[in-house]
Structure 1
Amino acid sequence: MTTAGEDRTGRKRSTGAFVQRPDLARRVATKRFFAKIVLLSEKIAPKTLWPLSIAALFLVLAWFGLYRHMPDFLRLGVVFVLVFAFIATLLPIARLKWPTDNDASRLLEDRNGLAHQPVGVQEDEPAFDTPFSRTLWKEHQIRMAERIAALNAGLPKPDIARYDRLALRAVPALLLAAAFGFSFSNGAGTIADAFRSQPTVGPLNPDIRLDAWVTPPSYTGRAPIFLTGRDATNRDAVSVPQSSRLTIRMTGGDGGEEVTFEPEMAGALQKLAPETTRADSASGDVSVPAQAPLADQPLAPRTFAMDVTESGMITANGEQWLFNVIPDQPPSIAFDNMPRRAVNGALEIGFTAKDDYGLKEAHAIIEPIGVAEGATALYPPPEFKLDLPR
């Protein structure tokens, strides 16, 4: 028996039983294609252990907020090492080759428990081309073809345990699961921390007193949050509603101190300017710009304020506060059913409405339809106030 799948030039040509049975050839070609995918998956899976572990370590450091506390040189060094190692561990995957037809045939025969190579025999020809040998060989091919009618490549079986006998792959997986759960907490970091330079924090000036607080919008019903007097700097993030008012009152110092805000999404560092002071006058309070004190006069307290509309970090006199902004979703309202006439003849409107912080009032806007152009209404549309449940 000889294999005649290629000619002397190395080019593939159809031979054997596949020439007389093109339907069988197409079916086997499809099965071989899936078998090649299975073989390639089995080769790739063990080689992804290192890239996935390195990617998991990168996410663990980010979600646990460790990048945020690293000096810039250490943070950049760690990121460079992780990125370089990730790319280096991908190179063995790029060098993998697509499996051959013979490899796919052997897989199909092994997975389906077929002896005597029933797949490969369909493309083979007898070594001695005599009438008897050709007839005998065709009969053998027909019998083997009946055995490959329903081949199944099965699922990939990469046998990863053979490459990781100590099961160390579980360590980055467990750390990643813990970091993912921690990422929803107030003290969690973000992936952007790995690529964002931390602001330079000046030394604490003991002669300066800071009073800082956040006032949520009045419609939220939440109490102000006092920031000073807490445990320490770099404390857990403070969750505040969107558009909350941050106020920092600074007393003492020489007037050159800065209050900065760094957005979480790698935005430009913003410097807060002190608010204007207020002076009493006969006509009421008048705002005047803050002026530098005389040499023999103490510096007046300065007030810095801003609306917190995005997450970020505030730095003042060496102290830092991290904010997580809670997005304010707009209120929603919809008809519960079609408007109808009540028993007493009044208009009855069923509706459902909701808001993050509760609803205070709701109104229905009634507008006429089919109004002629230039027509003037004799009276305005009715005002309809909706009754909210208590």
Structure 2
Amino acid sequence: MTQDTQLPADAAKRLTWPLRLTYAGMLAERVVRAFWPLWSLVLLTLASLLMGLHEALPLEAVWTVGVVVVGGGLAALVYALRQFRAPLRSEVLARLDATLPGQPIAALSDRQAIGTGDAASESVWRVHLARMSARLDAARAVEPDLRLARRDPYALRYMALLAFVIAVLFGSLLRVASVAEMGPGTGQTLASGSVWEGWVEPPAYTGKPSIYLNDVTREALSVPEGSRVTLRFYGEVGELALHETVSGRTEDVTPATEPEQGFDIAESGVIRIEGPGGREWDVEAIPDAPPSIEFEGPLARGEAGRMETPFVAKDDYGVTGGRLEITLDLSKVDRRYGLAVEPEARDKIVLDLPMSITGDRTEFSETVVEDLSKHPWANLPVSAELFASDDAEQEGLSAPQLGELPGRRFFDPLAKSIIEQRRDLLWNRENGTRVAQVLRAVSYKPEDVFRSETTYLKLRFAVRRLETRLSVDQLNDDAVEELAEVLWSLALEVEEGDLSDAQERLRRAQDRLSEAIENGASDEEIAELMNELREAMQDYMQQLAEQQGDQPQQDMAEGEMQELSSQDLQDMMDRLQELMEQGRMAEAQQLLDQLRQMMENMQIARGQQGQQSPGEQAMEGLSETLRQQQGLSDEAFRDLQEQFGPEGQQGQQGQQGQEGQQGQQGQGQQGQGQQGQQGQGQQGQGQQGQGQQPGDLEGGLADRQRALRQELNRQTQNLPGAGSPEGDAARRSLDRAGEAMDEAEESLRNEDFAGALDDQADAMEALREGMRELADQMAQQQQQQQGGQQGDALGRNNPSGNRDPLGRDQGENGRIGTDEQLLQGEDVYRRARELLDEIRRRSGEQERPTEELDYLKRLLERF
């Protein structure tokens, strides 16, 4: 570019780089717009050559495509030369000037035409030029516009670029060179001598490299089975021929003189090229061994009843997948009770095997972990087999593993009964009638077997639904699965119970550990139960300490009071675990019984039991109302069964009516109103047994429902906690229960038993919700009362209550001791040595108080 003489030198110097960069951008624009068809065609042609497309086409087609490509290239070149024109300096100045306000470059190139010689006019002109010159500081190079969307609406340039990138990644430059072999002079060159080339490509999953046969000088080859052999003969057809015995081909065999040969190695043999420059190889086919897999242990029961099955798998090139198949070993099942009938057809259990995460799958060990506790085959004899597969679609099979399918074990007798009936129902739905009868028998006296009334009501509701399904013959797969899930939840609720009650949790932990010892449980289960016992013991002792700090001590019981320290309990727990680890189960059971007896005999300071508070009386009354509502719902359910089949349900009705009568007689009475209800209930049931007409029976149920509604109104009026949020919420819930009872009464009078059942269920749910809210109100009130009495309890000096929760005398001045004879029993010397070691250990802890360290020092000096 030459400097424009019309532009001032200072301005031209300041615009040097913006003008150069703008020129380069304009040049790039015109090159791209003119030459994009040419370079798109070149990239597409190179991509075709790199991918070897010319080798797959006949020679005539290659020549035709070549002529078309050359012609298209010439046309694209002519188009580019006609379209391309280098940008002029004036065009560059104009583009740059267009980006500046007021076009200062054009202004600086102008000359004053009017007012020349007038000083004022020239002064104004100079000010104008100075202003335009200042605007040149904002000059920046103009970005080029390289967009070709209008000229290339189908984006052919991008398609060509993509094809070229793929060809570079996956193609080969050697294939481009093969174009020369298709030239006119190639025939004369090859006529002077025939040549060949060949490759052996092992299967990709083996990871073995390809072999170029022209470079192999040895006569023996060892390659994996399934390797692909490719041979090409160049020269006169017939001068070179193939002879091989490795493919095992008998049909559709390519002629031996075909210029291109391809086959797979299936067995050991010979590959020989006959003719000028031929060669022979003895090929050894290395077979692909099938994978092997074996169990490394039994079907073990892990934490929470999960199945943990270790295995080891091997393969020469790596295992790609596997599965564990579990089938029921019907011949070893104890075919009694609910298992006496033939089981329903059920698919085998198929679990995918976990693969090694290290990447090396030629040999690895893993463990199948799966929770199959809910499966109908849990804890039944099964047969398990392992399968492993590789890339060659070969499969390895392990020896069968026989044993019980691990699942969660239940120790509570009621939970075990529910789980057993759940298993029988899933075994065959024909057991439905028997399951309903057994569950009703189990829940015959709920006060003896159920710790929670809610659990009892849930079980009765599940039994009722099962009997309804059986009565209408609609016990389908969905119903069975739904009932099985309900029974499983109930069993868990019974087994785990209310874990917030530390004393009950401790008793249950002791029972479960005792039963596990008797049944010969595994070490893992015993260790898990032992940890549960330790945690329950700690929670129980902590609760005792908290209660002792808040409550006065009650009168001493007759007989000698047995007191325990926390260290004594810890020593007994350690000794118990030591005996179980040594396999001395009889001694462990004896020590566990001794621990149970000592805990039961421990005397803890508690407050004297006074009269029931208004809240407790209200809770008892509502509980009785809920029980009576459940009884009415059961009778309405039996009437609903009579509508579906009176004859088929007659025997069952009599049995259930007798059960309901006994349940009504066993209930406590809460006043004259409740006594009247009970008398009505017994009278109605007696009439049912005598064959009373249905219409009278329904009237009796409706009257009893109305009486129960009136009793609920009386209880609501006397409900404590008025004004508190919890008390108001409890009243609202009881009001909803009353409304549901009214609707149930109306449904009973209209003989709509199904609607009455729904209304009664709503009433019971509202009753339970009201009881929960009332319990929350009582707990909050008790907490407030204990907080106000805590200061008085701390300052009270009661000689009979001056002991901590562990039975030790607190004394005065911080003295803590016990009058228990610690050194007693057979192992006196070991116990004395342990006590001395403990004193020494504590005396070495300098963070303890100075008074305690002095006391420990005096003990060491004395003993």
| TM-score for the superposition, normalised by structure 1 | 0.46
Considering only CA atoms, is the larger Rg found in Structure 1 or Structure 2?
Answer: 2
Higher relative contact order (CA 8 A, sep 6+): 1
Where is the strand percentage greater, Structure 1 or Structure 2?
Answer: 1
| TM-score for the superposition, normalised by structure 2 | 0.23
